[in-house]
Amino acid sequence: MRLLIFGLGYTASRLAAALGDRAVVQATTRDGRGDTMAFDDAAAVERAIAAATHILSSVPPGQGGDPVLTRYGARFGDRWLGYLSSTGVYGDVGGAWVDESAPIGGGRRVERAEADAAWLARGAHVFRLPGIYGPGRSPLDRVASGKAHRVDMPGQVFSRVHVDDIVSGVIAGFDAPAGAYNLSDDCPAPQDAVMTYAAHLLGLPPPPVVPPADLSPAAQGFYAENRRVANGKAKRVLGWRPAFADYRFGLRALSATTSPATASTPPAIA
């Protein structure tokens, strides 16, 4: 396998590390740092496309559409294609369960929904992801840094997924039919409950409660959407099971390496 990754960020880096000797991995970043190619280095990227058997994009869309498809999509041919999308494409469903048959494009993530549909139209494996957490980027880190808060919104729930469960889902997708797959845990839960449990694991008091009216406009938009993400298709078709099916399992596994003295601000995604 020769895998080309567009956007070597937090999740894609974990995938590249997990593949190890099973694949030759090339990747792009904005600036071509380290061993990666700059996204705008067309000559290098086109050589990598020509050599690739598999292509995965984790690059989010912009106002002009999906930059990967716009710039390089015409050269993809019949290679295996994958795209890391978002369950935000489903919009608000009032806390109901959503699976891959639910309509997309009715929420605040219009550009993401359009990119999601465009990759599906190209025959890609589209992995729709809820809130991602993992080493260095979890509620534990936010609580430990003193920057966490809770929001008093009864009935509000979110789904989550451990980064390593995304990795195992994408790897399972290498040998599966194209299409959309929700990769999420089995336990949608209120943000309050997750932050309170993270504080409990660290031996700290729960973070303060922030009224919804005091949130930023972006955060208010995020909390205006309420849904539970069903993962049955990924289990059935990919043969995938989340190792951290409950956020408590994932946070307990991470808590051994997180403390108020050692936690840092979660890194930005490239």
Q: pLDDT tens for residues 190-205?
A: 999 999 999 999 999 9
**What are 85-105's pLDDT values in tens digits?**
999 999 999 999 999 999 999
CA–CA distance, 167 with 22 (Å, rounded to integer): 14
The more confident residue out of 128 and 154 is 128
Residue 154 pLDDT > 50? yes
Q: How many percent of the chain have pLDDT more than 70? A: 95
One of 3.30.300.30, 3.30.750.200, 3.30.830.10, 3.40.50.720 is the CATH number of 2-255, namely 3.40.50.720
Residue 46 pLDDT > 60? yes
The predicted structure's pLDDT at residue 212: 84
Domain boundaries, the chain: 2-255
Residue 20 pLDDT > 60? yes
The answer for residues whose C-beta is within 8 angstroms of residue 53's C-beta and 6 or more apart is 1, 2, 3, 79, 80
**What are 206-234's pLDDT values in tens digits?**
999 998 888 888 888 888 899 999 999 99
Residue 265 pLDDT > 50? no
The predicted structure's pLDDT at residue 259: 62
Q: Cα dist. 248→136, 147, 159, 212 in Å?
A: 16, 20, 13, 25
The more confident residue out of 68 and 221 is 68
pTM value is: 0.93
**What are 116-129's pLDDT values in tens digits?**
999 999 999 999 99
Mean pLDDT of 119-140: 97
